[in-house]
Chain A
Amino acid sequence: MTEKTIFELSRPGRKGIRFPAPDVPLTDLPKDFLRENLPLPEVSENEVVRHFTNISQLNHSVDNGFYPLGSCTMKYNPKINEETARLPGFAQIHPLQPVETVQGALGLMHETQQWLAEISGFHAVSLQPAAGAHGELTGVLIIRAYHDSRGDTKRIKMLVPDSAHGTNPASSAMSGMEIVQLPSDERGNIDLEALKTELDNTLAGIMITNPNTLGLFDENIVEACQLVHEHGGLVYGDGANMNALLGVYRPAETGIDVMHFNLHKTFSTPHGGGGPGSGPVGVSKELAEFLPSPLVVMTSEGDEQNPAFYDLLVPEKTIGRVKSFHGHFGVVVRAFTYMIRLGKNGLLGVSTHAVLNANYIQARVKDVYHIPYERLCMHEFVTEAVWEDAPGVRALDISKRLIDFGFHPPTNYFPLIVNEALMIEPTETETVETLDSFVDALLQIADEAKNNPDILHNAPTKAPFGRFDEVKAAKDLILRTQLPEEYGN
């Protein structure tokens, strides 16, 4: 079932949107710079709407069905968030307007910063980073700036566990750090003995994810943070797994100095097919002066008669800007709506039920799917999808077969330290019936793996498409529609 591209639907002379005729006198166009050829499609509005409506229906999404992608937190995206983000007073304001004309927006940002700080235990929060990886880069730059400000320019060694998400070492490398990988121990925690061998005066810090990418609360985290601090290093926390900790535990308590949040995971803002996200960064008191510029601050508290006043400030030792303007305000409005809806009890309910759902699935499958770490999990867990009596069946095949049952597969092949990993994160917004039908599918697939493996190798057969030839894509490298020469004249 092949859909035409928008270019293939194009016919010369078709028009979509029209604009009013100029209500001003015309000026001569700049002769030397006029563009001769503009090869854009020509389609009517109806065709555009139909085209995108039709291709949208080729997607599986959270609103269609279960999406247990580990470490992505595919929870329900509340529709009220979509309404509030679109209010004209939010959507139509320009970022460079005088601050007195946008006090509502600045106030909302400030309050969001306060909520995130209270939830996590950090002293100050910046909403500027655009995504998780962007927040990580920001955090590592802050660590580097901290050491540089103290003359400690030799400190460029960053420790990263082997279970870490690839953005961790990549962000460190972008900041000019040297990465040293740390192994995990047999219970899935940071290996303290390995850590101890790296504690010298070139240590900038350590990047940890807690709960870690195995879905486990790191039992060594408090000690690891202490050791790093004792030797002059700082601790970066990857907050991707905050969905297990809301109202349960504050990351700053463990000794983390700087952490990024993922509003598009924990705080229900939509994933949008790959973005936009938002990766605010929380820091300890000592690091607040290094936050990106500008930062929203309250300059006067206000009282009965007068509202509080908010402004944009350049932190004293700021690392500078990490992007244009103030951050993903549109995403922040959605997260703020979510937070005030839930309140403190609702937030606790998110994490307790996320952890409940994950443990439930783990308990029901553990006799058939090997769980490498014998522990209660947090909001997600990892299984090693290999069976001796089903040789040739791999995590990929199980994933593709799950599609035939109407489920989006779990995360595959991550973290790297588990062989044929399947990482399952149900989130708190799923019913026990959904979890049961997912478990039933997994158990049936395990059976098929042993008795009828071809069904897995040929899967999916019930999706709009079958497996794709990725080698051909990489070799042919067709990255745009091929257009005939005269197109656009």
Chain B
Amino acid sequence: MKTPAELKYTKNDEWVRVEGDIAVIGITDYAQDQLSDIVFVEIVALEGDSLDKGETCAVIESVKAAADVYLPVGGEIIAINESLMDSPELVNEDPFGNAWLIKIKMSDLSQLESLMDADTYQKLERDH
């Protein structure tokens, strides 16, 4: 299971890449593996929307399950990954790269402190 060291993680299997005051958000390799073949990605927010930490920003659907993706940090949505509409399988193939879900301009950088680092997240997985 890949767990890039430079990212931050949540116990709900989301990852965050911090780029200044922008957070790029996606789901982890572990999550896509659990879901297996992903058939649909629904991003429920629009560019320009302001959402709080913990709100559902996407629903990822496979033949086995439909999982909610919760925002690890709150803020204004500045970009959503539209290529996932036509190619949901990108989430299985490249969960940390091309399958980013949304980019958000963080409203409260202190929310990053409650996120896990890669080591903590990796240890967490075994208890799933």
Question: Which A residues contact B (CB, under 8 angstroms)?
Answer: 470-471, 474-475
Task: Write out the residue numbers on chain A whose beta carbons fall within 8 Å of the beta carbon of B63.
Answer: 470-471, 474
Task: Write out the residue numbers on chain A whose beta carbons fall within 8 Å of the beta carbon of B40.
Answer: 474
**Whole-angstrom distance between the Cβ of A444 and the nearest chain B Cβ:** 28
Task: Write out the residue numbers on chain B whose beta carbons fall within 8 Å of the beta carbon of A475.
Answer: 39, 88
- Enumerate the 7 nearest inter-chain pairs by beta-carbon distance, A residue then B residue, closest first: A474-B39, A471-B37, A470-B63, A475-B39, A474-B63, A471-B63, A471-B39
**How far does the alpha carbon of A470 sit from the alpha carbon of B62 in the complex, in Å?**
10
Prevailing SS type, chain A contact patch: helix
**Whole-angstrom distance between the Cβ of A19 and the nearest chain B Cβ:** 45
Task: Write out the residue numbers on chain A whose beta carbons fall within 8 Å of the beta carbon of B61.
Answer: 474
Task: Write out the residue numbers on chain A whose beta carbons fall within 8 Å of the beta carbon of B62.
Answer: 474
**Whole-angstrom distance between the Cβ of B21 and the nearest chain A Cβ:** 35
A-B pairs under 8 A by CB, number: 11
Task: Write out the residue numbers on chain B whose beta carbons fall within 8 Å of the beta carbon of A470.
Answer: 63
Prevailing SS type, chain B contact patch: strand
For chain B, the bracket of interface size reads: under 10
**How far does the alpha carbon of A471 sit from the alpha carbon of B38 in the complex, in Å?**
8
**Whole-angstrom distance between the Cβ of A400 and the nearest chain B Cβ:** 16
Closest to A476 in B: B39
Closest to B89 in A: A475
**Whole-angstrom distance between the Cβ of B31 and the nearest chain A Cβ:** 17
**Whole-angstrom distance between the Cβ of B84 and the nearest chain A Cβ:** 13
Closest to B39 in A: A474
**Whole-angstrom distance between the Cβ of B19 and the nearest chain A Cβ:** 32
Task: Write out the residue numbers on chain A whose beta carbons fall within 8 Å of the beta carbon of B88.
Answer: 475
Task: Write out the residue numbers on chain B whose beta carbons fall within 8 Å of the beta carbon of A474.
Answer: 39-40, 61-63
What would be 11 A-B contacts, judged by CB atoms less than 8 Å apart? A470-B63, A471-B37, A471-B39, A471-B63, A474-B39, A474-B40, A474-B61, A474-B62, A474-B63, A475-B39, A475-B88
List B21-79 residues whose CB lies under 8 Å from chain A: 37, 39-40, 61-63
**How far does the alpha carbon of A318 sit from the alpha carbon of B98 in the complex, in Å?**
55
**Whole-angstrom distance between the Cβ of B9 and the nearest chain A Cβ:** 24
Task: Write out the residue numbers on chain A whose beta carbons fall within 8 Å of the beta carbon of B37.
Answer: 471
**How far does the alpha carbon of A244 sit from the alpha carbon of B62 in the complex, in Å?**
36
Task: Write out the residue numbers on chain B whose beta carbons fall within 8 Å of the beta carbon of A471.
Answer: 37, 39, 63
Which of B62, B63, B88 gathers most chain A CB within 10 Å? Answer: B63
**How far does the alpha carbon of A470 sit from the alpha carbon of B36 in the complex, in Å?**
12
**Whole-angstrom distance between the Cβ of A392 and the nearest chain B Cβ:** 15
**Whole-angstrom distance between the Cβ of B32 and the nearest chain A Cβ:** 14
**How far does the alpha carbon of A475 sit from the alpha carbon of B37 in the complex, in Å?**
10
Contacts A474-B40, A474-B62 known; list 8 others, CB within 8 Å.
A470-B63, A471-B39, A471-B63, A474-B39, A474-B61, A474-B63, A475-B39, A475-B88
Task: Write out the residue numbers on chain A whose beta carbons fall within 8 Å of the beta carbon of B39.
Answer: 471, 474-475
**Whole-angstrom distance between the Cβ of B41 and the nearest chain A Cβ:** 12
**How far does the alpha carbon of A471 sit from the alpha carbon of B63 in the complex, in Å?**
6
**How far does the alpha carbon of A474 sit from the alpha carbon of B63 in the complex, in Å?**
7
**How far does the alpha carbon of A470 sit from the alpha carbon of B61 in the complex, in Å?**
13
Closest to B36 in A: A471
**How far does the alpha carbon of A197 sit from the alpha carbon of B63 in the complex, in Å?**
36
Closest to A474 in B: B39
**Whole-angstrom distance between the Cβ of A12 and the nearest chain B Cβ:** 37
Closest to A471 in B: B37
**Whole-angstrom distance between the Cβ of B127 and the nearest chain A Cβ:** 15
Closest to A413 in B: B64
**How far does the alpha carbon of A471 sit from the alpha carbon of B61 in the complex, in Å?**
11
**How far does the alpha carbon of A475 sit from the alpha carbon of B61 in the complex, in Å?**
10
**Whole-angstrom distance between the Cβ of A399 and the nearest chain B Cβ:** 15
**How far does the alpha carbon of A470 sit from the alpha carbon of B65 in the complex, in Å?**
13
Closest to A475 in B: B39
**How far does the alpha carbon of A449 sit from the alpha carbon of B33 in the complex, in Å?**
24
Closest to B40 in A: A474
**How far does the alpha carbon of A471 sit from the alpha carbon of B40 in the complex, in Å?**
10
**How far does the alpha carbon of A117 sit from the alpha carbon of B7 in the complex, in Å?**
60
**Whole-angstrom distance between the Cβ of A405 and the nearest chain B Cβ:** 26
Closest to B88 in A: A475
**How far does the alpha carbon of A470 sit from the alpha carbon of B38 in the complex, in Å?**
11
**How far does the alpha carbon of A470 sit from the alpha carbon of B37 in the complex, in Å?**
10
**Whole-angstrom distance between the Cβ of A134 and the nearest chain B Cβ:** 23
**How far does the alpha carbon of A471 sit from the alpha carbon of B88 in the complex, in Å?**
12
**How far does the alpha carbon of A223 sit from the alpha carbon of B88 in the complex, in Å?**
49
**How far does the alpha carbon of A470 sit from the alpha carbon of B39 in the complex, in Å?**
10
**How far does the alpha carbon of A12 sit from the alpha carbon of B37 in the complex, in Å?**
42
**How far does the alpha carbon of A343 sit from the alpha carbon of B62 in the complex, in Å?**
48
**How far does the alpha carbon of A362 sit from the alpha carbon of B45 in the complex, in Å?**
50
**How far does the alpha carbon of A245 sit from the alpha carbon of B91 in the complex, in Å?**
48
**Whole-angstrom distance between the Cβ of A411 and the nearest chain B Cβ:** 16
**How far does the alpha carbon of A475 sit from the alpha carbon of B41 in the complex, in Å?**
11
**Whole-angstrom distance between the Cβ of A116 and the nearest chain B Cβ:** 36
**How far does the alpha carbon of A336 sit from the alpha carbon of B108 in the complex, in Å?**
64
**Whole-angstrom distance between the Cβ of A467 and the nearest chain B Cβ:** 12
**Whole-angstrom distance between the Cβ of B93 and the nearest chain A Cβ:** 14
**How far does the alpha carbon of A336 sit from the alpha carbon of B39 in the complex, in Å?**
45
**How far does the alpha carbon of A474 sit from the alpha carbon of B36 in the complex, in Å?**
13
**How far does the alpha carbon of A298 sit from the alpha carbon of B47 in the complex, in Å?**
62
**Whole-angstrom distance between the Cβ of B95 and the nearest chain A Cβ:** 17
**Whole-angstrom distance between the Cβ of B128 and the nearest chain A Cβ:** 13
**Whole-angstrom distance between the Cβ of A395 and the nearest chain B Cβ:** 13
**Whole-angstrom distance between the Cβ of A354 and the nearest chain B Cβ:** 31
